[in-house]
Chain A
Amino acid sequence: MPETETMTKVFARPRSLTEKRFTYCPGCHHGLITRILGSTIDKLGIQERTVVVAPVGCAVFAYEWFRCDGIQAAHGRAAAVATGLKRANPELVVLSYQGDGDLAAIGTAETVHAANRGEAITVIFVNNQIYGMTGGQMAPTTLDGQPTTSSPQGRDPATMGHPLRVAEMIAALEAPMYVTRQSLYDAKHITQATKAVEKALRYQVERRGYSLVEIVANCPTGWKMPPVKANEHIAATVTGVFPLGDLVDRG
């Protein structure tokens, strides 16, 4: 690129990410969230003390994307694993990366109690309203009426309950330092979500305590929508059920 020789590189792959290609589907927000985390880890200079706790789900390989120490947790148990890591070595920056089935169904107890104890960890909650890896089944966050492979006629609140609002649930507790819900459906929201992730990690570095960043994300494959349309669906519909913004900021 002779032309670029005279130019300045203003955007490149974060140094704290490995060169591995993501295994996610085209347009999936998991990759974007990983990039934002990598950029933030770079910015805060914490790559050498960060441990990434990966969930079971599409992000099962999450620990391999980071040039940081990493660990794979049993389904739903990431917050407990993160608790063990942080209590054993408070110098570590512990990042628990979880999806909605992992965090809000099978791992509800671990999620709530880690938050209630105010564990000094950062939880990144990817809410895409579906079980992606297992083939698109209903999640606790699936919208009313949303068809999935295990709710083919659409989620019927009469027998399946309503979408679980995790950020509101965690915000009701006294211990959490920072609880926010963000999205990535356009450039403005990507910038806001990046700032939220930075704040959540910074609060941990400053030993303030527990943070949860819920990210209303897409699942183009599970939703059977092209990626751009899936992002539009978040803006038009999903954020109506999961309102965006900070719920708690005690920092």
Chain B
Amino acid sequence: MPRGKVVIDPERCKGCGVCVATCPFGVLEMSSTYNSSGYPVAGAAHPEQCTGCALCAQACPDIAIEVYRGVGARERGDG
């Protein structure tokens, strides 16, 4: 089980790609799906790499990302 998990709200995502550039572990990639506004949506291509560090969520301009962390993982994040 991965230490962390990101949940991206596809309707809030505008496909800017900042989360993809921010993630230190290469978890995120732009997916090939589009939301109802026509924006391409980011997704977790390598979820097993996620540590739940939440840097992606902190950089997201549309608050489209929620981050979870496994029990025992260090508490972090200012959400």
A residues at B contact (CB < 8 Å): 1, 3-4, 6-14, 17, 21-22, 24-32, 35, 39, 43, 184, 186-187, 190-191, 194, 220, 226-228, 231
Contact = CB atoms under 8 A, between A and B. Distances in A.
B56 to A, nearest CB: 9
A31 B62 contact: yes
Interface of B: 1, 4-5, 7, 11-12, 14-18, 20-22, 39, 52, 54-55, 57-63, 65-71, 73, 75-79
B61 A8 contact: no
Q: Which of B21, B54, B79 has the most CB of A within 10 A?
A: B79
Contacts of B59: 32, 184, 186-187, 190
Contacts of A29: 61
Contact of B62 (A14, A21, A226): A21
Which 4 residue pairs are nearest across A and B when measured between Cβ atoms? A27-B16, A31-B61, A26-B14, A7-B68
A186 B55 CA distance: 9
A223 to B, nearest CB: 13
Contacts of A186: 22, 59
Contacts of B7: 1, 4
A10 B14 contact: no
Nearest to A6: B71
A9 B62 contact: no
- Identify which of A4, A24, A191 gathers the most chain B CB atoms within 10 Å of its CB: A4
A50 to B, nearest CB: 17
B3 to A, nearest CB: 9
Contacts of A31: 60-63
B17 A11 contact: no
Contacts of A227: 16-18
Given A27-B14, A187-B59, A231-B18, A43 B78 contact: yes
Given A4-B7, A11-B65, A11-B66, A190 B17 contact: no
Contact of A7 (B5, B11, B57, B77): B5
B5 A39 contact: no
A27 B61 contact: yes
A187 B22 contact: yes
Contacts of B18: 27, 227-228, 231
Contacts of B4: 7, 10
A123 to B, nearest CB: 21
Given A27-B17, A32-B60, A227-B16, A10 B76 contact: yes
B5 A3 contact: yes
Contact of A11 (B62, B73, B79): B79
25 contacts: A1-B7, A1-B68, A4-B68, A6-B71, A7-B5, A7-B68, A8-B71, A8-B75, A10-B67, A10-B69, A10-B75, A10-B79, A11-B57, A11-B58, A11-B65, A14-B63, A32-B60, A186-B59, A187-B58, A190-B58, A220-B16, A227-B16, A227-B17, A228-B16, A231-B18
